[in-house]
Amino acid sequence: MQGIADQCDRSESNPHGDLQTAQAGIEHNRRAECLPAVAVVVMMFQSTLAAKTMMVTVLPALPSPAQALPCPLGAGWELIHNVELPDRGLDGARVGGFSAVAYQRKHDRLWLLSDATTGYLVSFTGLSRLLQGEQASLKGGRRLLLRDRKGAPLPADFDGEGLVLNGHHVWIVSEGRRRPQRRARLQRYNLLNGRLQREVPLLADWQEKEGQGLASNRGPESLTQMASGDLVLAAEAPLIQDREKQGKDWVRIARLRPGPDQLLEPIGRFEIGPAGASASRKHCLTELLGLEGDAAVLWLLRSFALPAGWSAHLQVLRLAGSESPSAPPIQAMQSWDLLADGLPSAALPSANW
């Protein structure tokens, strides 16, 4: 399991402003009490400016930019905790192949999504107690098999990648293989019995057609919920029709507003690297993490190439309010090399507050 914790003195001013304004407030106002923020990813990190004696705890709500990133953006991160997940659930069944994580604060419960042959969720409890030294390890729960509307287990080729909890419901985004029976999907399941409740079609430009759409096994891999309740998802790599355009690789972003009849809408593009990087270095976006105010997100960008091996960069980006065809791809405001800060190269590519 991974986690990112940013722990440092923060400014009391402008808690809902943009990241640059929040950063300026931190640098020019008096130092306030230290407020830790925890994002579950694979390890626990804290800002290099943090006081080492502070206890890492879980925030009660989605953090504002000033709370989530209270130090100057160039401060960096430091590994402070590494948690090993049990390899079996409460029922003794072996678990693994996790691709996404979500956290229920009220019950101190982590939910992990497996993209193993049979799609399922499994819960682990005790994260907060473990971080406070009150518990030695996480406790595994029973597996919750994902099922179709009739209650039958999902096909063996289900490839769940992104996860958002919403009360007794869970939203899951899954990758496809450019075949009608294996399309990429955004679906909502009942967290009590695992049954499919709703499916939202992806944008037409994302769907598989000759010369367009998501490439096979190339997303969507990331899903997050903003403070407004909007779901935001992104392609893992450039769509087929977007490859090597404008000398850059970029991925598209979409939003689903709350409501039973809402459909996905485009909201912009993220720049992920030079043209061709997605293919030559398997350069891809693997996770999004929303910040309060719907203005910005953290995202995880990973790549692999020989002989260098894996890379993992955490970046912060400002979201566009709506898509403009003439607008250039969104560029990162700040980037951090997590492998240089101690993150294992094989770490789980997922994040959650």
Mean pLDDT throughout 32-42? Answer: 35
Q: Where are the domains of the chain?
A: 2-82
Instruction: Please check whether residue 332 is in contact with residue 353, taking contact to mean a CB–CB distance below 8 angstroms.
Output: no
Q: What share of the chain is helix, strand, coil (3-state, %, to 5)?
A: 10, 40, 50
CB 111 within 8 A of CB 170: yes
pLDDT given at position 64: 57
Using alpha carbons, select from 170, 156, 270, 176 the residue that is nearest to residue 223: 170
DSSP 294-334: SSEEEEEEEEEETTTEEEEEEEEEEPPSS--TTSPPB--SE
CA distance 11 to 15: 8
Confidence of residue 2 (pLDDT cuts 50, 70, 90): very low
Coil vs helix vs strand at 188: strand
Residue with tokens 């925030």: 59
- 1 pLDDT above the threshold of 50: no
Considering only CA atoms, give the Rg of the chain.
20
Distance of CA 340 to the CA centre of its chain: 20
Q: What is the pLDDT of residues 175-195, one digit of tens each?
A: 888 777 788 999 999 999 999
Q: How is residue 257 written in tokens?
A: 């507003």
Mean pLDDT across 222-228:
91
The string of pLDDT tens digits covering residues 119-153 is: 899 999 998 888 888 988 888 888 899 999 999 99
Q: Is the pLDDT of residue 8 over 70?
A: no
Contact 279, 217 (CB under 8 A): no
Q: How confident is the model at residue 50 (pLDDT cuts 50, 70, 90)?
A: very low
What is the residue type of 329? Answer: P
Distance (Å, whole) CA 132 – CA 127: 9
d(CA 159, CA 181): 12
> Measured between alpha carbons, how far apart are the two ends of the chain, in Å?
13
Taking the C-alpha atoms of residue 69 and residue 287, their distance in angstroms, rounded to an integer, is 18
Query: 82 — phi, psi (to 5°)?
Result: -130, 120
